[in-house]
Amino acid sequence: MTRLTVLVADDDEVDRLAVRRALKGATLLEATDAGSAEAILRERRVDLALLDYFLPPNTGPEVLARLVELQPGLPCIFLSGHGSEEVAVEAMKAGAEDYLPKSAVNEPRRLSRLVERTCAANQLRLQVQREQARFALALEASGAGTWSTAGKPAVVNGEERFRALFDLPEGHSWPLERWLTCFKPEDAARLMSALQEGSVSLQAELTGTPGRWVELRGRREVGGVNHFGTVLDITQSKAAEARTLAMKDRLMGIASHDLKNPLSAVKMGAQLLARSERLNDHERQVVAHIAASAERMSRLISQLLDLTRVRLGGGLALERKEVELVPLIHALVEETRLGAGRTIEERLAPVTVNADPDRLAQVVSNLLSNAAKHGEPSAPIVVRLREVEGRAELCVENRGEPISPSMLDTLFEPFVQGPDAARDGLGLGLFISREVMHAHGGTLTVSSSVEGVTRFVAALGHAYSTRDQ
C-alpha 212/C-alpha 467 separation (Å) is 54
* Torsion region of 455: left, alpha or beta (phi above 0 gives left; psi -120 to 50 gives alpha): beta
pLDDT digits (tens, 9 = 90+) for 336-382: 888 788 899 999 999 999 998 888 988 998 899 889 988 899 899 99
DSSP-derived letter for residue 168 is P
- Which residue did the predictor score with more confidence, 392 or 92? 392
C-alpha 38/C-alpha 123 separation (Å) is 22
**What is the average pLDDT across 274-291?**
84
Q: How many CB atoms lie within 10 A of CB 457?
A: 16
DSSP for 413-431 reads STT---TT--SSS-S-HHH
Query: Cβ distance 437 to 396 under 8 Å?
Result: no
Query: Cβ distance 347 to 326 under 8 Å?
Result: no
- Name the packing angle between helices 281-311 and 235-274 (round to 10°): 150
Q: Measured at the alpha carbon of residue 260, what is the angle toward residues 270 and 257, in degrees to the nearest 5?
A: 170
DSSP for 317-336 reads ----EEEEHHHHHHHHHHHH
- Which residue did the predictor score with more confidence, 248 or 355? 355
Predicted structure pTM score: 0.45
Confidence of residue 468 (pLDDT cuts 50, 70, 90): very low
- Which CATH class name applies to 143-233? alpha beta
C-alpha 100/C-alpha 15 separation (Å) is 13
Query: Cβ distance 203 to 215 under 8 Å?
Result: yes
C-alpha 228/C-alpha 221 separation (Å) is 7
Domain ranges of the chain: 5-139, 143-233, 238-311, 321-465
Comparing 268-272, 308-312, 340-344, 371-375, the range with the smallest average pLDDT is 308-312
What φ, ψ does residue 321 adopt, rounded to 5°?
Answer: -160, 170
Same fold, 5-139 and 143-233: no
Could you give the 3-state DSSP secondary structure of residue 148?
strand
- Which CATH class name applies to 5-139? alpha beta
The pLDDT of residue 5 is above 90: yes
Per-residue confidence (pLDDT) for residue 411, from 0 to 100 = 85
Query: Cβ distance 149 to 176 under 8 Å?
Result: yes
pLDDT digits (tens, 9 = 90+) for 178-208: 999 999 999 999 999 999 898 999 999 998 7
Considering the chain, what percentage of its residues have pLDDT values greater than 90? 30
CATH architecture of the domain with range 321-465: 2-Layer Sandwich (3.30)
CATH of 238-311, one of 1.25.40.10, 1.10.287.130, 3.40.50.720, 3.40.50.300: 1.10.287.130
pLDDT digits (tens, 9 = 90+) for 118-138: 888 888 888 877 776 676 666
Nearest residue to 369 via CA among 437, 304, 286, 296 = 296
Mean pLDDT of the residues in the chain:
83
Listed in sequence order, the DSSP H helices in 279-422 are 281-311, 325-340, 357-374, 405-410
pLDDT digits (tens, 9 = 90+) for 20-58: 988 888 999 999 999 999 999 999 999 999 998 888 888
Could you give the 3-state DSSP secondary structure of residue 347?
strand
- Which residue did the predictor score with more confidence, 463 or 173? 173
DSSP for 179-228 reads HHTTB-HHHHHHHHHHHHHTEEEEEEEBSSSTT-EEEEEEEEPTTSS-EE
